[in-house]
Amino acid sequence: PPPLPPPRPTAKFGRMTPLNRRTFIAAAAGAAAAAVAMNPQTASAIGDHDGHGDGDFADAGKGFIAALTPGVVKNAKGQVVWDADAYRFLKGDAPKTAHKSLWRQSQLVSKQGLFKVTDRIYQVRGLDLSNMTLIEGDTGVIVIDPLISAETATAALKLYRTHRGNRKVTGLIYTHPHVDHFGGCRGVLPDGSDGTGDVPILAPEGFMEHAVSENVYAGTAMQRRSGYMYGAQLPKSAAGQIGCGLGQTVSLGSIGLIPPTKDITRTGQSETVDGVRFEFQMTPGTEAAAEMNFLLPELRAVCMAENATHTMHNIITLRGAQVRDARQWAHYLGESVTLFDGKADVAFASHHWPTWGGGTIVELLEQQRDLYAYMHDQTLRMINLGMTGREIAEEIELPPALAEVWANRGYYGSLSHNVKGIYQRYMGWFDGNPAHLWEHPPVAEAKRYVQALGGRSATVAKARAFARDGDLRFSATLLNHVVFADPRRRDARVELASVYTRLGQACENAVWRNFYLSGARELREGVEESPTSVVSADMLMALDVDQLIDSVAIRVVGPKAWDLEVRMDWSLPALGKVWHLTLRHGVLTYRSDTEADPAAGVTLTMTKSQLLSMLAGKGLGDIDVEGDVSLLGKLLAVVGKPDPDFPIVTP
């Protein structure tokens, strides 16, 4: 799941004018038949059942109590932050505009409402990208993973209380530091809660560091690409966004972050919250850098967090992130089998639906363990035969016994891009071929390809021929060169948008579909306002001073600062430290201790809140200034602003 805040609600976001919507749907429908013919998997190579009849559909509906009706959640301003009803079109057989297997997955994950998992354990599913799990304790209810937004979390808790009584929240557990597992915390704990009250908040060791770090350093680029990954600007329709494989989409509400009061540091650690005993398994480096599963021994239930769900997950996520460790992932799933076999009658996770029965639980864990182990081991074997990531991704196949398991299908992660991620983890970006060592950047390369192919018109004609012959991949490559060589070339943009639409509608992988269709939309309609934002008071307050200075340092426009030399102190008495900042050679560096630097040209004495306000461009306010305040202006003058709306499929 994304370790990023969700899209912000705007009047423009997620909507199309009637004319644009008709254009989109007409273009999508026109591509559908060719998409089906192009992809042989559209007729689902694994048939119409999963070996258990309609087992997944039965499990996804098991324990259903009630749905939120209507399935719409709004914020205080009346803006829609979640609309489960938008997916009512997911009925019946798959249309020609969607892969049959992905359509099935979207039908399963679009089921929303309150469900009973087992005695004292309930889940609210389908009200955000993730699930909220509620465990009834002696005096109240313990909330596991409170969704992305305060608004959806509030609605989920209200739905639970409507049917189970007005139980107070007596505990909160974050299984890992992705925003869909903590962002709604303000919706389940009282306003103003800071993690120091009576409600214990448990999380894996390292939670706070990882909850904020990805949102600071490469956050702008990640959030831009996450809009494509989740199809944020696509219409919800059979021709557009039908889900993301892990859930349907992300909510658009307000994000909070209340720090944990208790770190879980080791496997086997046991904690009791409101009379309920938890036995934890640490799984760092799997789906998240800090993650944990837990057993509820008295309730004979196990939570697998996001380590075992009903899809192949991401080893490398398409929005951008550090590569996850497939070897460790497989190792910890094997450990889970050892730890939990015979001790649980139901396994639930932070996404999808539960798995019932001890033998079925073990089967799921072993199948997913073998999935990640096979990907890892075979990629390394082929690397040591001299194959590149692209070559391995084309050749590798899962054993039929793994590939035919619905839960191993590539709805969210994919075998193709996961293999490339494993290659990247071990070998980096360079494949060893010197022809790839110093290639031209995209625009310069595109112009040379187009020239070599006989010009723009000739290149478009060749691309159309490849598309007619069913080779949409190479057609897209040629058309992409034309668009980058001359982005004003309308015929190339229209043709490439059509090819992307055909590719997207043939995809079993939801995020590939969303990327292709979002790319087609950009080509047809241009770059729109980015639908995502990392702005959150809780998130900013969670950053330590080192991270705040780092966030400034990575925005220094180096060439503008080559000839500047600035030294200053930032003193925060409440933290008992002074940070010594130096801007020199276009680089902002720092160190901290308890003493002032006599060589500092200016000293700013402030609180952390004042520091945040200053960095947000709100001026000095009541900050105490000693020395030459113009030095601060010189520093801020060379700090650039990231572009949250940069183009992706156009130069």
Confidence check: pLDDT of 15 > 90: no
DSSP 8-state class, residue 96: T
Contact of 578 with 44, CB cutoff 8 Å: no
pLDDT at 33 over 60: no
Average the pLDDT over 392-418 and give the result: 97
Model confidence at 12: pLDDT above 50:
no
Q: Is the peptide bond before 235 cis (omega within 30 degrees of 0)?
A: no
Average pLDDT value for residue range 289-294:
97
Mean pLDDT of 523-537: 75
Lowest-pLDDT range, 182-191, 246-255, 363-372, 630-639? 182-191
Least confident of 134-138, 452-456, 523-527: 523-527
Asked whether residue 129 carries a pLDDT value surpassing 60, the answer given is yes
Label residue 342 exposed, middle or buried (CB < 10 Å: 0-12, 13-18, 19+): exposed
pLDDT higher than 50, residue 199: yes
- The encoded tokens of residue 650 equal 């156009």
For the chain, how big is the Rg over CA atoms in Å? 26
Q: In this predicted structure, what is the pLDDT of residue 194?
A: 60
pLDDT classification of 193: cutoffs 50, 70, 90: low
pLDDT over 60 at 53, yes or no: no
The rounded percent of the chain whose pLDDT value lies above 90 is 83
In 3-state terms the chain splits into helix, strand, coil percentages (rounded to 5) of: 40, 15, 45
Q: Does 18 have pLDDT greater than 90?
A: no
Pairing outcome for strands 64-66 and 121-125? unpaired
Distance CA 545, CA 608 (A): 8
Whether residue 44 is predicted with pLDDT greater than 70 in this model: the reply is: no
pLDDT band at 633 (very low <50, low <70, confident <90, very high): very high
pTM recorded for the entire structure: 0.90
Binned at pLDDT 50, 70 and 90, residue 532 comes out as: low
Closest-CA residue to 62 (of 357, 308, 305): 357
What pLDDT band is residue 52 in, cutting at 50, 70 and 90?
very low
pLDDT value, residue 146: 98
Q: Distance between CA 506 and CA 411 in Å, rounded?
A: 12
Q: Alpha-carbon distance 239 to 261, whole Å?
A: 46
Give the pLDDT of residue 60.
97
461-477: average pLDDT: 97
Give the contacts of 146 (CB within 8 A, at least 6 positions apart): 132, 153, 156, 172, 181, 182, 183, 184, 185, 187, 188
Q: What pLDDT, on the 0 to 100 scale, is given for residue 51? A: 39
Taking the C-alpha atoms of residue 524 and residue 522, their distance in angstroms, rounded to an integer, is 5
DSSP element (H, E) containing 113: strand 113-118
Residue 136 has pLDDT above 90, yes or no: yes
Q: Could you tell me which residue, 542 or 192, shows the higher pLDDT?
A: 542
- 406-424: per-residue pLDDT in tens? 999 999 999 999 999 999 9
| Predicted confidence band of residue 21 (pLDDT cuts 50, 70, 90) | very low
Indicate the pLDDT class of residue 38, thresholds 50, 70 and 90.
very low
Averaged pLDDT score across all residues of the chain:
90
Contact indicator for 205, 290 with CB cutoff of 8 Å: yes
Mean of pLDDT values over 366-394: 97
Bridge-based pairing of strands 64-66 and 72-74 is unpaired
13 band by pLDDT with thresholds 50, 70 and 90: very low
